[in-house]
Amino acid sequence: MRILKPQTLFEKIWQAHLVCALDAERDLVFVDRHILQETTSASAFDGLKANERKVRHPGLSIATQDHMVSTEPIRNEGSNPSGLELMQLMRANSARHRISHFGIDDPRQGIAHVIGPELGLVLPGAIIACGDSHTSTAGGLGALGIGIGTSEVEHVLATQTLALPRPKPMRISFDGRAGVGVSAKDLVLHAIGRFGVACGVGHAIEYAGSAIRALPIEARLTVCNMSIEFGARLGLIAPDESTFAYIAGREYAPADAMWDAALAHWRQLAGDVPAGFERDLYIDASRVAPQVTWGTNQQEVIGIDEIVPDPSNLPDREARERARAALDYMGMVAGQPIEGVAVDVVFIGSCTNGRLSDLEAAAAVAKGRRVAPNVRALVVPGSSAIKREAEAKGLDRVFLDAGFEWRSAGCSMCVSMNQDMIAPQQRCVATSNRNFENRQGPRARTHLLSPAMAAAAAVTGAICDVRKLA
Amino acid sequence: MPTPFKNFSGIAAPLPQANINTDAVIPATYMRSPSSDLGAGLFARWRYQESGEPIADFILNREPFKHATILLAGPNFGCGSSREAAVWALLRFGIRCVVAPSFADIFYENSFRNGLLPAVVTQAVFDEALAQAVGHAGEVFCVDLGAAEISLPSGARMAFSIPPMRRDAMLRGDDDIATTLRRESDIAAFTEADRKARPWIYSMEAAR
């Protein structure tokens, strides 16, 4: 009998897609699903045209408008004039190459990483590629979601493959039970704070442990979404029966006999128990409080009951300067409690936290309360389908009655490529993924947190502990 | 499509902080149109006031560094967004090589696709390069890709690491897609077997 080396979940999936090894460090792997968005596809199509190349598998690709669409309640492509050219280019390129296009007028439109799982495009054990770094979201269903640049988008269109360095497997286990008011977003932000924004470079992270297993599917998508914020291109969670139940019946999910065959395959996917990880890290989920970032990258994060750290305590000069610059940019001072910091804008949405369960968590806090005076609060569903589901459940009324704006689906204030921007030095609490300088607009200040915490800040006018609001 | 990489000499600009993200390299506002001037947008929020006035003490606005063709950047350079416009902006500005202790994964790949050399060096080598970029301002660094070495103004030669196959492809100016398409038989064989092993992946094509 041949003895097989034990493999991690990641290694099994990678192996199943291996077309051939290219050299000592790189493989050519097959891409099962390719999702295109308007900001990173135009040059790729130009490249195909210049080289007279065809799209190899147009039927395995779909396109969606997300980054640049207006989120006005009533809208069309022209509602964001600055994005019109790229939106029209993708629409025309998709038509020319017979790629299904879910534009602003299509009920399936939404953020690429939200509609992938929602439509059953993302399947366990599959490789998904998209020209956006948050493609790792797909890992929540046990898929490999690979964020790529525009040249790689062209490469996938032309060859349906990617030539990539082989990532090394790494694991972060969240053991214990997360407390009330502590969400998937808090768990992952806390882990980035512990291990740093570069800890995952060159790695594929598998999230494991009892606190991960206990998460519903949408929360698992949130955790995997943030993989790139550890520096990891890939992050994933072993699929289980709740994963399969989530996928069953979705538009692009396999059905009937094909479903049975797929299910049998997916049940074999979990990693072998003795498989080794290059790095193996632990978090005690029971000790994690709701998290808020204080600085300008995601490792600059603390619990809601903590004070902003003092840069003088950091070991090297470079780190001290960097932390001081972050405090200065954010208008914060060392030793200040994060609780009580007044906010101007609240953004609830994005591929991290724009799913139905996120909106429900925010609505539970907003219900029967009012957005504080002088605070602008936006709720932007991650997809048009989520918007419809939320409206069917009356969530739009809850938000509107409380004084929130109820908007249409798109990336919105996460990337601020449409009109949804923050004014200079305004302070925004956001459920998105990046608190970088100028991300939400020139000199805009961003604090990342969970949907419930964002809603709590909206109704109190300041960063506060949602657990005290009950 | 990249052209063959040619060795060159030039000014190296120090920007040594860790974790410089691609939003800083090229703000999203410069990606709204395919005809944006990406070279002008490079590090725009650090280079200009909101009025558009240059910020005099930012490194790339200062002599001699405004003529830099090499960037010395801190670890995990290019983290965050996958935007390839970050690489395009560096190239349009005139930067042809970024030297750093480490690079973010997606930026590293994007660099090769466009002929921008991502040279990985040890922290000790980086510190020495940084000291000379400041101490010998105006004197040139020489990049030799074939030897995987950069000569410092002092004459010292520092090695950088680059996977040999990537180096050779850069020297030839290979088109990655053409290289992959030469594996046509491998791709076809994979797909034929995979259609039987995982038919549910391909049923999406038939359903159209």
Tell me the average pLDDT across A92-113.
Answer: 97
Question: What DSSP state is assigned to residue A354?
Answer: -
Domain boundaries in chain A?
9-165+241-263, 168-238+272-287, 297-468
> Which of the four pLDDT bands, split at 50, 70 and 90, describes residue A272?
confident
Q: Which CATH class is domain B8-174?
A: alpha beta
Q: Which of B19, B42, B82, B103 would best serve as a mutation to test chain A binding (most A beta carbons within 10 A)?
A: B82
Q: What is the pLDDT of residue B206?
A: 83
Please give the share of chain A, as a percent, with pLDDT higher than 70: 99
Q: What is the pLDDT of residue A3?
A: 60
Q: Which residues of B touch A417 (CB under 8 A)?
A: 28-29, 31-32
Tokens of A323: 């932390």
- Contact (CB<8Å) A322/B18: yes
What lies within 8 Å, CB to CB, of A178 at 6+ separation is A186, A187, A211, A214, A285, A286, A288
In this structure, whether the domain defined by A168-238+272-287 belongs to CATH 3.40.1060.10 is answered with yes
Tell me the average pLDDT across A257-275.
Answer: 90
Please give the share of chain A, as a percent, with pLDDT higher than 90: 96
Does the ipTM surpass 0.90?
A: yes
CA-based nearest residue to A410, from A83, A80, A69, A75: A69
CA-based nearest residue to A111, from A225, A279, A8: A225
Asked if the model's pLDDT at residue A108 lies above 70, the reply is yes
A127 to A153, A386, B96: CA distances (angstroms): 14, 24, 33
The fold of A9-165+241-263 is Aconitase; domain 3 (3.30.499)
A249 to A160, A253, B146, B195: CA distances (angstroms): 26, 6, 55, 22
> Which of the four pLDDT bands, split at 50, 70 and 90, describes residue A86?
very high
Give bridge partners of residue A37 from the DSSP assignment: A64
Size of interface A-B (CB pairs under 8 A): 196
Nearest chain B alpha carbon to A80: B32
pLDDT digits (tens, 9 = 90+) for A297-343: 999 999 999 999 999 999 889 899 999 999 999 999 999 999 999 99
- Contact (CB<8Å) A20/B74: no
Residue with tokens 């739009």: A396
Q: How many CB atoms lie within 10 A of CB A286?
A: 13
Nearest chain B alpha carbon to A122: B201
Nearest chain B alpha carbon to A420: B29
Tokens of A154: 């062209």
Are domains A9-165+241-263 and A297-468 of this chain identical in fold? yes
Q: Which residues of A touch B177 (CB under 8 A)?
A: 47, 51, 53, 154-155, 158-159
Tell me the average pLDDT across A393-407.
Answer: 98
Q: What is the pLDDT of residue B160?
A: 98
Domain boundaries in chain B?
8-174
Q: Which residue intervals of A129-279 are DSSP H helices?
A: 150-159, 184-195, 210-213, 217-225, 241-247, 256-266
Q: What is the pLDDT of residue A2?
A: 55
Residue with tokens 């520092």: B158
Asked if the model's pLDDT at residue A408 lies above 80, the reply is yes
User: pTM of this prediction?
Assistant: 0.97
pLDDT digits (tens, 9 = 90+) for A426-440: 999 999 999 999 999
Looking at chain B from residue 68 to 127, which residues have their Cβ under 8 Å from any Cβ of chain A? Answer: 74-76, 79-84, 87, 102, 104-106, 109-110, 113-114
d(CA A410, nearest CA chain B) in Å? 15
What is A297-468's CATH number? Answer: 3.30.499.10
d(CA A255, nearest CA chain B) in Å? 9
Q: Which residues of B touch A158 (CB under 8 A)?
A: 177, 180-181
B170 Cβ under 8 Å from any chain A Cβ: no
Distance CA A385, CA A368 (A): 25
Phi, psi angle pair for A421, to nearest 5°: -130, 160
pLDDT digits (tens, 9 = 90+) for A246-262: 999 999 999 999 999 99
> Which of the four pLDDT bands, split at 50, 70 and 90, describes residue A396?
very high
Distance CA A388, CA A408 (A): 10
Q: What is the pLDDT of residue B106?
A: 97
CA-based nearest residue to A306, from A316, A293, A319: A293
Residue with tokens 């965050």: B80
- Contact (CB<8Å) A32/B83: no
- Contact (CB<8Å) A19/B181: no
Looking at chain B from residue 28 to 57, which residues have their Cβ under 8 Å from any Cβ of chain A? Answer: 28-29, 31-34, 45, 50
Would you give per-residue pLDDT tens digits along chain B (208 residues)?
679 999 999 999 999 999 999 999 999 999 988 889 999 999 999 999 999 999 999 999 999 999 999 999 999 999 999 999 999 999 999 999 999 999 999 999 999 999 999 999 999 999 999 999 999 988 999 999 999 999 999 999 999 999 999 999 999 999 999 999 999 999 999 999 999 999 999 999 987 6
